Structure formats: structure tokens, C-alpha cells
Amino acid sequence: MDKQLIENTLLEYGTPCKVYTYEQLPSTNTTAKDIARCGEAEFTLVCADKQSEGRGRLGRSFYSPEDSGLYLSLIVRPKFTFDDAFLITPCTAVAVADVLKEKYNKNPQIKWVNDIYINSRKVCGILTESSFAKDGFTEWAVIGIGINLTAPKNGFPDEISSIASGVFTTSEQNPAREQITAQIISSVIRLYKMLPDTSFIEAYKEMSFLKQKMVFLQSGESVKVLGISDRCGLIIQHSDGKVETLTSSDVSVKIADSSV
């Protein structure tokens, strides 16, 4: 990708950002974390055309072939407690979904806590990794965003072929990679700056993909999703009627009638 074009477009959008582009990296999050540790400034973006070891939440891998996806990691330097740092991922999900909706007329939904779905298939995953100082506040965070713009040339691997999809079909007029990168990062920076007022949470609730669905918790228990709490927790109802709010970023849920 053309680094200068992304930087110029971000400047034009009023959200200046330093950009590093690579043809290939093991993981843009790993590189961004390395340079954040060495003091790289807030609003620095690391992009790669492909990743050999793309990572997702809970130790999962993120399939990152060349040409069909965007692999982006943005360094931010908030002073957040652990609880506020948890909100970076949902805030980013709203920012990315807003671009897909407003600029490309798509109908994105957010699967708690970090995935974006279109037509019931995953098109984007977000992995935020943070470093906390001894005082309990964040020193930096790296916001990793992986988006399948289209299906890969040779299709998705079997393990994810029934749940993954591209934002655009190959017959659609696809935006230039630099343009959509700048639109997404600009939207993320803008919403991130407003994160403390938590106004994005209303949009997060409205775009919830899991609401009223039956899901499996990691324990195997099936529960009903009632909605999203005011701090982006997942409100669930157990079969005995007990209502609970899941807040741990370590929890994963599977929809009861598929394997997302």
C-alpha cells in the first residue's frame, strides 16, 4: 500500500497519523507493540498486505492472505483503568461499522465483543492489546483490526468457510485499499478521542448481532442473550431465569445454531 497516500488522506480528514506499510509481517499487532514499547507516538499505524501469524482473541489465529484483506494496528496512548481499556475494542467496532454503513451502504452488526458481521458472517475481527503501568493505568494500547474486504482468491480455509465472508463481492466496485484504510482509521481515531463520554455504547447496543439469540458459553451451557449493558457487558439469562452480565474479555460465546 502507498504509505504517503494513507498519511495524506488521514491529514485531509483532520486525523493525522504516522503510517508504516509492509508487504508482509508475522503480525502487525506484534510490530506495533514492539515500537510502542520503544516510545513510538500515539496515532501511529502499522499496515501489512499479508500476515503469516495473524492473531485473534483467546489465542486464535486470524487468516490474513494477501490482496483480499486489510491488517491494521493503531498505537494509542490513553490513561485508562483496566475497565475503561476494555471499552477500546467495542468503541473500535462501532467506528469500523460506521464506515461500512455510512460510506458503503452495508448493514454491519457487532457480535460481542469484537467481531463485525454482515449477513450473519464475520467480516472483521478486532484485537486490542494494552500495557499497564504500575499505577494501574494504560501506558499504551495497540488496536488491531483485520477486515476481509473480499473473499480470498482461493476461498476461505475449510475451518472458517461457513462463517467468514468479505465486505464486498468481487463483482462490486471495491474501494482503493488506501482509501478505506484512511476512512477506517480516521473513524477509529475520532471515536477513540470521544471514548470517555461513552456515547458510542448506544450505537453498539443497536448493532448487536447476538440480541435475543441463544448462545453457548465456553462451559457448554446454553443461555439467552438479553442485550448489552451500559459498560458493553453481555447480559444473558440462564435457563433457571437468573440474569447475569458477562464482562470478561476472556469469555467467548458461540451462537447455538451455528459455530461462529
Tell which one of 1, 18, 50, 56 touches ligand BTN (CB under 6 A): 56
- By CB atoms closer than 10 A (0-12, 13-18, 19+), residue 160 is middle
- By CB under 6 A, tell whether 29 contacts ligand BTN: yes
Number of residues that bind ligand BTN (CB under 6 A): 20
CB of 166 to ligand BTN, least distance (A): 15
- By CB under 6 A, tell whether 227 contacts ligand BTN: no
Residue 141 or residue 173: which is nearer to ligand BTN going by CB? 141
Rounded Cα distance between 67 and 49, Å, is: 7
CB of 140 to ligand BTN, least distance (A): 15
By CB under 6 A, which span of 51-59, 95-103, 154-162, 172-180 interacts with ligand BTN? 51-59
Rounded Cα distance between 190 and 151, Å, is: 29
- By CB under 6 A, tell whether 78 contacts ligand BTN: no
Q: Are 126 and 115 in contact (CB under 8 A)?
A: yes
Tell which one of 4, 12, 60, 107 touches ligand BTN (CB under 6 A): 60
- By CB under 6 A, tell whether 144 contacts ligand BTN: yes
- Residue numbers at the binding site for ligand BTN (CB under 6 A): 27-29, 51, 54-57, 60, 62, 71-73, 114, 125-127, 144-146
